[in-house]
Amino acid sequence: MPQLGNLALAIALILAVYSIVANIYGARRNSPDFVVSARHALWAMCAMVTIAMLVLWSALLRSDFSLEYVASYSSTTLPTVYKITSLWGGQQGSLMFWTWLLSIFTSIAAFQNRRRNPEIAPYALAVLAGVAIFFLMMLNFVTRPFDLLATVPAEGSDLNPLLQNYWMAIHPPSLYTGYVSATVPFAFGAAALITGKLDDGWIRSTRRWAIFSWFFLTLGNMFGARWAYEVLGWGGYWAWDPVENAAFMPWLVMTAYLHSVMIQERKDMLKVWNLSLIGLAFGLTLFGTFITRSGVISSVHSFTQSGLGPYFLSFLITVTLGYSALLIFRSKQLRSPAEFESYLSREAAFLFNNLMLVGIAFAVFWGTIFPVLSEAVRGVKITVGPPFFNRVNGPLALGLVFLMGVGPLIAWRRTTTSNLVRSFAAPVVIGVTTGIVARAEGLRIWYVLTAFSLAAFVMGTVLVEFRRGVNARRHMVSEPRAKALVNLVAKNNRRYGGYIIHVGVIVAFVGIVGSSFFRTEVKKSVHAGESFSIGSYTLRFQGLEQSDTPHLESATALVEVLRPDGREITVMTPAKLFFKRPQQPATKVAIRSTPLSDLYVVLAGIGDDGQTATFEVFLTPLVFWLWAGGLMMVLGTVVVMWPNVRERAAIATALSRQSTGARELADLGAPGGD
Amino acid sequence: MRIRPRFFIGVGLIAAAIGYLIFSAIRTTSEYYLTVPEVAARQTELGGQALRVAGRVKAGNIDWDPNSLTLKFEIVPIPDVDNGAVKPVVASDPVSFHVICAGEPKPDMFAPGRDVIVEGKLGADGTIAATQVMTSCPSKYKPKQSQ
């Protein structure tokens, strides 16, 4: 069986190489037969990687410890679901998972473009095949998933207990999907540069890919935060760890890209900027893998060096240099006749929003690589911790939120004063009132006051937009308010879905601000029967319950939670677990979540007498809204991605007459604004 | 794309503000990230400074009091793993530092022989008063136990 896996990976590599050659030859010689055969080769490559995946999965499920990978990351007692997820629990497996996703996305892109984009698609597919070649080389020669052990152990060394929870099943796949799907828009951008077909065709053809990628990056970051919150037991959800930053940076740049392409579609500006952003987004996905796999910036995730670092770095440098050379080579053709006219315009608001997003990404990048830079320059590793990231990104986040309110309401090109007043009077009043009320309620921290006021301001602008749209609809076709609202969103899903995402971002932002500034913490050692309090809650420790299974031992504390009037709300059960193989303790946090605040109880220690326990308890206000906001962002993205008949028709027309009259058709493609 | 000169002012101001934020934040939040031998070599100049130390938990001498959440242990250098390269043998005394971390739960992965990062300050007596002890996550990205 392992030979079958090796063979499949080898054939996949050959097919990828063939596909590059055939695509480029076919496109240059104008020979469709070669392009068709290149496409078939990509599909066959996908089939080969799929076979390799199935072989590894089958080995994991059968606990075939002759495979080094299976012996390192699985065991006979591991529950079946974790045998499946341990495919991406280790390096070789997760690299193969990545390659598999890439081959699937490449195949889909090849299918979508079998008749579309005859000029740039072959080059885009060649770029995708080139990326696949890099990963397949790694799998074939550097970090081989099907290597065998000389002596077959009787039992595997099991998956790390931290990875044995359901987040493991959903967090890495989401993040990888987000990472890998960013390759498709990048490939089309690169193809546009190679061919010189520099209109916005490449953007339109891959708009859904970019949103798809953003969607999964959002999910991946949210799941990661939630995982940290539920599993790691320190009461927080984000530590600015290099591995977290690696997932956050592509999200930021993708967000900037999704906004700035609107300017190119509408105004034919920012061509270089958009091409740079998508190149940057792709580069950051590679950089993220480089960070996590190389251990170059000793994160808490990994101290160990792995052999992959230099390869990823070389590939990253090659891609960066090649792409930059293309940009410079085409720079003359990329000049745009249009220009910015006024600060008070949507273009300007979007430009500054882009600067903020890229600025945050740069700050995160700088903070992440600072230890390496300082070591290279000064010979000493100097790190910057969470305070650095919070201090830099806090003010930038405020600016970004402000622009989120301004951007959607302000007119393109330029705005008159009366326009400004009409659009922004109500939201400004809402924002200022919120600030005044919060201050009257005793809130004194200027950052929080500003943040809450701006959040209310943005909510106000979204309300104004929805109200305006509903009224306009009811003016044209008389329908009830609720129906008008549904139709409004359905007919302009791109625009109103975007607003729903904005609401989600604001809600999450409020959750982040609230949980960062007002978290309280109590540490207490108590005997059974004793109680202590945090906030308005009283916690009574009732005692410990022990249990023992073949897989793990556990000690569970029963903690009664009482309201000030003495009524019991619930019993919480934080626990200490002790896994038997590998022998390792773990902590099970108990969380009681309400919209106002989360009660988070950690069983930090157990006394030798079995009657005393030490608890670490956090009371975190508003953190609930971070997850609620994440959910809204997800829903909004689904609305944006929902197939829209009108838009499809417009794109089809645009593509059939691609080279002619791109401008007027562009406006058709985006009914109702953006 | 052409940008009118007055737009350069706006763009420049924002870029400068971001640059200033980064610059000032780095100055106020940075801390040394050192190995145990590096701490030993610079002991005098490091007194009272915020630092992170990477080292290995020495077996024995580990004292954990779950009631006060106080963890005491000794940290020693992480041995170099060189891939066959011959290194000159330096006859130096094995260095170690006492670490006291109070008020934090003991990390689940904490055990003798594990590699840890200690965050805290070095006292005059050579004891590190730690605010945090972080353990490495030993599995996820580790290639194998084949050294």
Q: In this predicted model, what pLDDT tens digit does every residue of B61-113 receive, in sequence order?
A: 889 888 788 899 999 887 765 444 444 444 455 688 999 998 888 887 788 88
Contact B52 A301 (CB under 8 A): no
Q: Classify residue B38: in a domain, yes or no.
A: yes
Are B55 and B116 spatial neighbours (Cβ–Cβ below 8 Å)? yes
Do B101 and B123 belong to one domain?
Answer: yes
Q: What percentage of chain A has pLDDT greater than the value 70?
A: 93
pLDDT at res. A401? 96
Q: Classify residue B16: in a domain, yes or no.
A: yes
Do B22 and B92 belong to one domain?
Answer: no
User: How far is the alpha carbon of A576 from chain B, nearest alpha carbon, in Å?
Assistant: 9
pLDDT band at residue B8, thresholds of 50, 70 and 90?
confident
Tell me which residue range forms the domain holding B50.
Answer: 31-135
Average pLDDT, chain A: 88
Dihedral over Cα of A156, A160, A164, A167: its sign: negative
Out of A572-581, A585-594, A644-653, which region has the weakest mean confidence (pLDDT)? A644-653
pLDDT band at residue B36, thresholds of 50, 70 and 90?
confident
Q: Residue type for B144, please?
A: K
Do B36 and B78 belong to one domain?
Answer: yes
Q: What is the pLDDT of residues B48-66, one digit of tens each?
A: 788 888 888 988 888 988 8
pLDDT at res. B96? 87
Q: Classify residue B145: in a domain, yes or no.
A: no
Are A203 and A670 spatial neighbours (Cβ–Cβ below 8 Å)? no
Q: Classify residue B23: in a domain, yes or no.
A: yes
Contact B108 A584 (CB under 8 A): yes
Q: Classify residue B85: in a domain, yes or no.
A: yes
Do B42 and B110 belong to one domain?
Answer: yes
Do B38 and B70 belong to one domain?
Answer: yes
Q: What is the pLDDT of residues A346-367, one digit of tens each?
A: 888 898 999 999 999 999 999 9
pTM, whole model, 2 decimals?
0.90
User: How far is the alpha carbon of B75 from chain A, nearest alpha carbon, in Å?
Assistant: 16
Do B63 and B22 belong to one domain?
Answer: no
Do B21 and B46 belong to one domain?
Answer: no
Q: Classify residue B78: in a domain, yes or no.
A: yes
Do B61 and B37 belong to one domain?
Answer: yes
Q: Classify residue B72: in a domain, yes or no.
A: yes
Cβ-based contacts of B38 with chain A (< 8 Å) = 380
Do B112 and B131 belong to one domain?
Answer: yes
- Alpha carbon distance A27, A35 (integer Å): 7
- Alpha carbon distance A591, A209 (integer Å): 37
The pair of three-digit structure tokens given for residue A421, joined into one six-digit string: 């007043």
pLDDT band at residue B141, thresholds of 50, 70 and 90?
very low
Q: What is the pLDDT of residues A447-499, one digit of tens each?
A: 999 999 999 999 999 999 999 899 988 888 888 888 889 888 988 888 999 99
Q: Regarding predicted confidence, which is higher, B89 or A547?
A: A547
Instruction: List, in order of start, the domains of chain A with CATH numbers.
Output: 1-160 (1.20.120), 416-517+625-641 (no CATH), 520-621 (2.60.98), 643-674 (no CATH)
Q: Which of A202, A346, A329, A339 has its CA nearest to residue A277?
A: A202
User: How far is the alpha carbon of A389 from chain B, nearest alpha carbon, in Å?
Assistant: 8
CA-based radius of gyration for chain B: 21
pLDDT band at residue A303, thresholds of 50, 70 and 90?
very low
Which chain B residue has its CA at the smallest distance from A523's CA?
A: B103
Window B:77-106, CB contacts with A under 8 Å:
103, 105-106
Do B19 and B89 belong to one domain?
Answer: no
Window B:4-43, CB contacts with A under 8 Å:
4, 6-7, 10-11, 14-15, 18, 21-22, 24-26, 28-34, 38
Q: What is the pLDDT of residues A71-113, one digit of tens each?
A: 988 888 888 999 999 998 888 898 999 999 999 999 999 999 9
Do B20 and B48 belong to one domain?
Answer: no
What is the domain count for chain B?
2
Question: Which of helix, strand or coil describes residue A552?
Answer: strand
Do B67 and B26 belong to one domain?
Answer: no
Question: CA-CA distances (angstroms) from residue A469 to A208, A458, A475, A487, B12?
Answer: 25, 17, 10, 10, 36
Look up the CATH number of the domain holding residue B57. Answer: 2.40.50.140
